[in-house]
Structure 1
């Protein structure tokens, strides 16, 4: 059967293709009384006029707006004045959906930026918050070193939601912790003592702001603090010998929790 019948009418297959829907959909809409074909062939096949096809497209518009088919049928057959109220309501819902989607886009953008930059603060803001000893390049260095790890992904997710005020609270907590670590080192607090273990747990919790840090991971970080010249210089500038002492404190705390520091891995 030809797609176009007399007087420009379309077969159900042609009408479906024209509207981008399936023949089954048009059969369903016909059964619901939503879009009934104006004509039939001698063999009983549906024929859709230009007005029928226009009605199909109106259904598609309303469906894209999220309206149920029963409501669409009422709108199609309602006087123009009666259509205004439900359409205004649907418009308000669409604007709300757009706002929610835009918020999601913004969140994804922040996550992408955090994953790339490491921290969503300018270099000036970083120094103002973390102090003159802070090097803004450290964030990029961390990304280059750990950017492909699950921990960096977790860090980026958390950093994306942090405000300047959040970072200020983190910096204040770290400063207080470093002061207490230095004081304990000067006072001769022994690794493995209750006081030292409490400080180790505070230090591990400070890492936990960025990613979930197990005791084994904490041991690996402690090794790096003592062995890496940059990390060692940072801690030893706070208190001479602090990097090595902190490593020993972390090791002893992990040992008390069943982790062998000599064989600990990043798990």
Structure 2
């Protein structure tokens, strides 16, 4: 009887140790994601995000947003994402960028129903990284016309796209009760 009790207690301890090892691995990945952002090798990042990808962007984002709830949300999501997950996200962003470029070329006007629908798709795609409100979307769009790397990304897809997209996002946000002139990061 004593032996059975000891065996049972040992099995419980082994289960607890395995559970704690799993928790430790999870925390280790979260710490790595907090530091690195994307937890796939640099070569895989280039495959996923394309030749224009600059690995320093994540470090710059960390410097700017490290104390925000959105950075915490981003790193928690990043800690569980595989290269295939990132491919899917990148493909979604490329798809919406191409749709935005085509809309601009076609003369779609900001505040139109189709422009607003595209702005919502863009906001939803951004929400793969962290929950993106309309106000935050406006703040991000400001970076599209002031941050050289972001601006180049959109301009590569279509000249003038960064400015047009900012106008589209601003107009869409107005339709959702957000004044772009007073929009803040929430």
TM-score (norm 2): 0.95
Aligned-partner SS, 1:262 = helix
Return the match for 2:77 from 158, 175, 182. 158
Q: 1:258 aligns to what?
A: 177
* Whole-Å separation in 2 of the counterparts to 1:116 and 1:190: 41
**Deviation digits for residues 2-38 of structure 1 (CA, Å, limit 9, x no counterpart):** xxxxxxxxxxxxxxxxxxxxxxxxxxxxxxxxxxxxx
Q: Which residue of 1 aligns with 2:20?
A: 101
Q: CA offset at residue 158 of structure 1? A: 1.4
RMSD: 1.2
Q: 1:120 aligned to 36, 39, 61, which one?
A: 39
Moved more, 137-146 or 235-244: 137-146
- Show the counterpart of 1:74: none
Following superposition of structure 1 onto structure 2, how do residues 74-93 of structure 1 map, counting pairs within 5 Å?
A: 82-93=1-12
SS in structure 1 at match of 2:185: coil
The answer to whether the aligner puts 1:175 opposite 2:94 as a matched pair is: yes
Q: Give the secondary-structure state (helix, strand or coil) at the position aligned to 1:240.
A: coil
Output the CA distance in 1 between the equivalents of 2:6 and 2:87: 47
Higher relative contact order (CA 8 A, sep 6+): 2
1:138 corresponds to: 57
Aligned residues: 186
**Deviations along 1:143-194, whole A, 9 cap, x unmatched?**
1221222211121111112122211111111111111111111111111111
Question: TM-score normalized by structure 1?
Answer: 0.67
> How far apart in 2 are the matches of 1:231 and 1:141?
12
Unmatched segments (≥5 aa) in structure 2: none
2:154 partner SS: helix
DSSP-derived class of the 1:84 partner? helix
Shift in Å at residue 247 of structure 1? 0.2
- The reply on whether 1:192 has 2:100 as its aligned counterpart is no
Q: Distance in 2 between matches of 1:124 and 1:109?
A: 22
Which runs of 5 or more residues in structure 1 are unaligned? Answer: 1-81
